[in-house]
Structure 1
């Protein structure tokens, strides 16, 4: 491990490289290959599957599994973060969750159908916990590796690396999935399963660059044996301090509202396109690639805009665009002869603001933090806010869709949450770098 100074380009690039390593999980496992594979191998018996002696609809079981994993992370991350901040050992926690996630993704290779469904579900839960758990500790490094005025660009760089790297691996995986005969593959399940294996290897392998350069104990803490009790105490200190920081609390409220909209649209846009708009699977895959590629430019563009307009005004602009995207998705009709072009245009718009809102949310939160050594614990509350928003957003989307028998109404409701996020942000004063140095 090299001891690189704060703000060093080499250190910043090494930190951002973890996005390159782990974003393949978000794209290949969460969005593109695994959901399609899971649907294909569990579609028999009218989509009914049995898990732990109980019958489920296949899509519902996958949804419940992901929600369960989010709840686990939401519960564990503040506790583990308090321990990590007290012990000064956040890199070890980050490594643990990284290896848990990457090994669990590799285990998906053995998920071949109904008879091995338990492997697919357990691996899905553990991989999600590993991914989101490691991100808590990864995000918390931002104030320690970069100076305040660098946060927007550094945060954007991480997401840009992630989108670029994940597109490279997905493009390779899609050649196997769509043209297995080119590789001499005759087993139709093998290309997808090899994709899962490649994601785990990519994630674990490239993460070593980050682990080599990130500092282990920035504040030189020397914990005693009662680190678990002290970790809880650290958590309570941060929790109490949030009560006396109205700006930070206000931002977390706004982040909660607009994250409900953002994360739910990302999770369900593909299903919406397939069921409500009749978009073919091959076109959906192209759409996913469009979103990822445009997101690279979106993260870069809005990081520059924020330097001119300020973080809050830029976030409000991005949220307004998200609201318009909701209305566009609600209004387009599958009977329109230009439906494919319209859907691609909306996908490009999502890509432009998807990377931007993630990047700017992370850097804005880091700017609002007080002078502290408890960065991990503070970022765990940021992470918990996002996970609870995902659970609530997916529930609302499903509930509204079930009682109205239309996902269009679910999309329309999401626009309300963007409006609430916009309103809450409107009560926050502009964040100036000089105010938070």
Structure 2
């Protein structure tokens, strides 16, 4: 099966020279990069911040874990709603309203998560504020991708889109590494509630800066007559979105199962507390590999890239069954991250030419929401299997998720071939 021919809809038309990233800076300006990076931290700090705060007052492990999972489900549910709202009313209004709602939800979470009768228990107010905080947390990552796709619309901009998607994926990866690390450091130094307070302050400062950045014009709503004058399809490709969401669910399941399994592995090998550090190794290579995609050969279309990387991810995850020491497992995680980052970039970049410009907000939030939901599934399945049979059995969830990612990639290759046959 050939997947590299006639995939011009998503394949880069040129290889960027040394000025590739300077091109991105010229389009958006340096303030954008600072504001968008800082504005992501409130979301990356939410789940672990809620877990840390509730765990400080709970007398079990189930309650903080449940609160963290509930907030993650809230993100998965709220993100597409926020994306659709930004398509209709513009990013600026949605971001400002969501910032206020998020800060209020954090205040409620701090109140509901405080000990009563000597301990914290999962009740209706705590669950409600946890899911609300997840639903209204500002969706910076998806909205940045919308701005890039609406600004980089020239015939020679396809490689710049790949570079922009690679950069955004790298920043997302780093945010989900440094966000939890910041929570741990601050909680240890100043107390468990302070990380959630900092998340609220960051939201009040960084999100409005992003909302009013000069690039925000690309996040304004497109009226019908404007949308029809912009290059792009007139209808969302439901077939591609189904494949893209399935792929993101697979990636999220890999993430979630590994996050849980690494914690179990660290405990089983006599190194409790190092699971997070082992897991973070994957983010390093995933982010770096995502940045390289724009320099891959132009003849490697989106379908070929997806299938190639997924085919590498399956044996890479299987190799995680071998390590017996944390340093060995960290090396294995580096190998797993390398093919995952490019798949993320590929799915995001492939969605642009298949989504109407006026619906990009919905598309760019549906895909990350699928990652979040997949992560929750991976956490649940990995933890359940690990409790009964240990970390090696739990890695079966990870390998299976990578296999699903490969199958979906092959289906995407068939989808692309069918698209080309209709031209």
CA contact (8 A) 2:252 2:373 kept: no
Equivalent position of 2:295 in the other structure: 304
Equivalent position of 1:285 in the other structure: 276
Q: Which moved more, 1:9-18 or 1:398-407?
A: 398-407
Question: Residue 358 of structure 2: SS of its match in structure 1?
Answer: coil
Equivalent position of 2:19 in the other structure: none
Cα distance in structure 2, aligned partners of 1:401 and 1:284: 14
CA contact (8 A) 1:22 1:203 kept: yes
CA contact (8 A) 2:317 2:398 kept: yes
Change (3 A) 1:342 1:162: same
Cα distance in structure 2, aligned partners of 1:253 and 1:61: 29
CA contact (8 A) 2:169 2:290 kept: yes
Equivalent position of 2:260 in the other structure: 271
CA contact (8 A) 2:139 2:365 kept: no
In angstroms, what is the RMSD of aligned CA positions? 4.3
Equivalent position of 1:85 in the other structure: 87
Cα distance in structure 2, aligned partners of 1:373 and 1:134: 18
CA contact (8 A) 2:44 2:175 kept: no
Change (3 A) 1:308 1:130: farther
Change (3 A) 1:369 1:174: same
CA contact (8 A) 1:19 1:162 kept: no
Cα distance in structure 2, aligned partners of 1:47 and 1:175: 21
Cα distance in structure 2, aligned partners of 1:61 and 1:210: 29
Task: Indicate which of 336, 346, 363 corresponds to 2:332.
Answer: 346
Equivalent position of 2:4 in the other structure: none
Task: Indicate which of 157, 165, 173 corresponds to 1:155.
Answer: 165
Question: Residue 166 of structure 2: SS of its match in structure 1?
Answer: helix
Cα distance in structure 1, aligned partners of 2:370 and 2:180: 29
Change (3 A) 1:411 1:384: closer
Cα distance in structure 2, aligned partners of 1:48 and 1:159: 31
Deviations 1:26-68 (CA, angstroms, capped at 9, x unpaired): 543335x5545544542x2x5465xxxxxxxx53454345335
Change (3 A) 1:39 1:273: farther
Question: Residue 373 of structure 1: SS of its match in structure 2?
Answer: helix
In the superposition, the TM-score normalised over structure 1's length comes to 0.69
Cα distance in structure 1, aligned partners of 2:279 and 2:344: 17
Change (3 A) 1:431 1:145: farther
Equivalent position of 1:54 in the other structure: none
CA contact (8 A) 1:140 1:376 kept: yes
Change (3 A) 1:323 1:37: farther
CA contact (8 A) 1:65 1:124 kept: yes
Q: Offset at 1:167?
A: 5.3
- Structure 1 gap ranges (5+): 1-5, 50-57, 224-233, 243-247
CA contact (8 A) 1:263 1:393 kept: yes
CA contact (8 A) 1:254 1:425 kept: yes
Deviations 1:104-136 (CA, angstroms, capped at 9, x unpaired): 446655534434756654443223212375555
Change (3 A) 1:86 1:354: same
Cα distance in structure 1, aligned partners of 2:364 and 2:279: 29
Equivalent position of 2:207 in the other structure: 207
Equivalent position of 2:12 in the other structure: none
Equivalent position of 2:244 in the other structure: 255
Q: Offset at 1:271?
A: 1.9
Equivalent position of 1:241 in the other structure: 235
Deviations 1:157-197 (CA, angstroms, capped at 9, x unpaired): 2233444566566555544445x3xxxx5xxxx1x322222
CA contact (8 A) 1:255 1:386 kept: no
Change (3 A) 1:23 1:284: farther
Q: Offset at 1:72?
A: 4.6
Q: Offset at 1:152?
A: 1.0
Q: Offset at 1:361?
A: 2.1
Change (3 A) 1:96 1:316: farther
Cα distance in structure 1, aligned partners of 2:68 and 2:184: 22
In the superposition, the TM-score normalised over structure 2's length comes to 0.71
Task: Indicate which of 40, 43, 48 corresponds to 1:23.
Answer: 40
Question: Residue 309 of structure 1: SS of its match in structure 2?
Answer: coil
Cα distance in structure 2, aligned partners of 1:171 and 1:391: 20
Task: Indicate which of 355, 358, 361 corresponds to 1:373.
Answer: 358
Matched, 1:423 2:402: no
Change (3 A) 1:281 1:262: farther
- Structure 2 gap ranges (5+): 1-22
Equivalent position of 2:69 in the other structure: 63
Equivalent position of 1:358 in the other structure: 344
Alignment of 1:4-23 (within 5 A): 9-11=26-28, 13=30, 15-17=32-34, 19-23=36-40
Deviations 1:234-255 (CA, angstroms, capped at 9, x unpaired): 9xxx99934xxxxx44432332
Cα distance in structure 1, aligned partners of 2:333 and 2:277: 10
